[in-house]
Amino acid sequence: MNKRHLLQSFLAASALSFGLSSAFAQSPTPIKFQLDWRFEGPAALFLHPAAKGYFKSAGLDVTIDAGNGSGGTVTRVASGAYEMGFADLAALMEFHANNPDSPNKPVAVMMVYNNTPASVMALKKSGITKPADLTGKKLGAPVFDAGRRAFPIFAKANNIGAVNWTAMDPTLRETMLMRGDIDAITGFTFTSLLNLEARGAKTADVVILPYPDYGVKLYGNVIIASPKLIKENPEAVKKFLSAFAKGAKEVIANPAVGIESVKARDGIIDSKLETRRLQLAIDTVINSADARSEGFGAVNAGRMALMASQVSDAFNTKTRVSPDAVWTAALLPPAAELGSVLRK
């Protein structure tokens, strides 16, 4: 009897031990993810797959936080506070070139904004209709604005002379343009255009000079990951990108559905406005002709090398940007999987 009880106890303990071991082995991998900006329309690309459980199904426990600029996102991933993030490629390049000895420089693992969303915007009453008209004008933008940082590249491509810059908080940029304090601004088109409309401007009264339309083929935002995560758990990165691509495909096909997940994170957003913002982002930088040509998530090596050189010059970096150091395609989902993300 005692032997039977001992055997039953041993089997029960073994089963419990096996169960605990299996649960531990299958516990989800935690990933803290930092966005580039607030919970606005484009954030649906990440919040939707999270809300649908795609990350969870892939064995990932993903936490998504709002950001306050690409520079901050790159720095936080480099510091180890976040494993992954969403940031402007130029900001990542600048960090690499200015911090050559940093042990944890983030790496871009998937292209999302195939074209930079940056543009120069002015009101028609200013008389500005083309890039050359900006010479001698007063331009305004936050000092960290991607369009302002890359303006020397835009100016060189379009033979623009000297301009005068005014710095301000992001919340004042469009207000100052409407008041006439400045002649033009730089910013992401899908952000500043809608902000101008919210301040009383009509779309027909706004002049938009998108960088990609005027010879500046810079890439925009990418998904970045810490080299520590890439080295120690590359499968987690692969699973994240695959789940993201699945969600992004659904958001691109039906932006309104994607905005529901943004509304769930920030209940005060204007769903109609953010749906339009997301659609603008999709049309101009995500499902653009360049993106369809190069393939969602991928980059063109020659174009990447040119951007690295342009950023090195325009940002006056300490060292030259190495395109091979900032980008890897090794963790991307299969081409067949990525090929169905964009609408043709």
Same-domain check for residues 285 and 160: no
Same-domain check for residues 225 and 301: yes
Does some domain include residue 165? yes
What pLDDT, on a 0 to 100 scale, did the predictor assign at position 1? 47
What pLDDT, on a 0 to 100 scale, did the predictor assign at position 25? 52
- CATH number of the domain that residue 90 is part of: 3.40.190.10
What pLDDT, on a 0 to 100 scale, did the predictor assign at position 22? 42
Same-domain check for residues 321 and 175: no
Whether residue 286 contacts residue 223, with contact meaning beta carbons closer than 8 Å, is answered with no
Same-domain check for residues 296 and 320: yes
What pLDDT, on a 0 to 100 scale, did the predictor assign at position 3? 52
- Give the domain-ending residue among 214, 235, 260: 214
Same-domain check for residues 223 and 111: yes
Whether residue 239 contacts residue 54, with contact meaning beta carbons closer than 8 Å, is answered with no
Q: DSSP characters for 240-284? A: HHHHHHHHHHHHHH-HHHHHHHHHHH-TTS-HHHHHHHHHHHIII
Number of domains into which the chain is organized: 2
Does some domain include residue 103? yes
Same-domain check for residues 76 and 141: no
- Give the domain-ending residue among 214, 247, 278: 214
Same-domain check for residues 124 and 253: no
Taking the C-alpha atoms of residue 330 and residue 138, their distance in angstroms, rounded to an integer, is 44
Q: Which residues form the domain of 102?
A: 30-115+219-338
Same-domain check for residues 224 and 332: yes
Does some domain include residue 10? no
Q: Of the candidates 262, 222, 229, 237, which has an alpha carbon nearest to the alpha carbon of residue 50?
A: 262
Global pTM value: 0.90
Does some domain include residue 195? yes
Same-domain check for residues 108 and 240: yes
What pLDDT, on a 0 to 100 scale, did the predictor assign at position 343? 74
- Give the domain-ending residue among 214, 243, 270: 214
Same-domain check for residues 145 and 87: no
What pLDDT, on a 0 to 100 scale, did the predictor assign at position 272? 94
Does some domain include residue 290? yes
Does some domain include residue 344? no
Taking the C-alpha atoms of residue 236 and residue 96, their distance in angstroms, rounded to an integer, is 24
Does some domain include residue 273? yes
- Mean pLDDT per 10-residue interval, the chain, length 344 residues: 53 48 68 96 98 98 96 97 98 97 96 97 97 98 93 96 96 97 97 94 96 96 98 98 98 97 96 96 96 96 97 96 97 94 82
What pLDDT, on a 0 to 100 scale, did the predictor assign at position 271? 96
Same-domain check for residues 84 and 161: no
Helix axes 70-79, 89-98, angle to 10 degrees: 50
Q: Which residues of 27-46 are buried (b: 16+ CB within 10 A; e: fewer)?
A: eebebbbbbbbebbbbbbbb
Same-domain check for residues 206 and 225: no
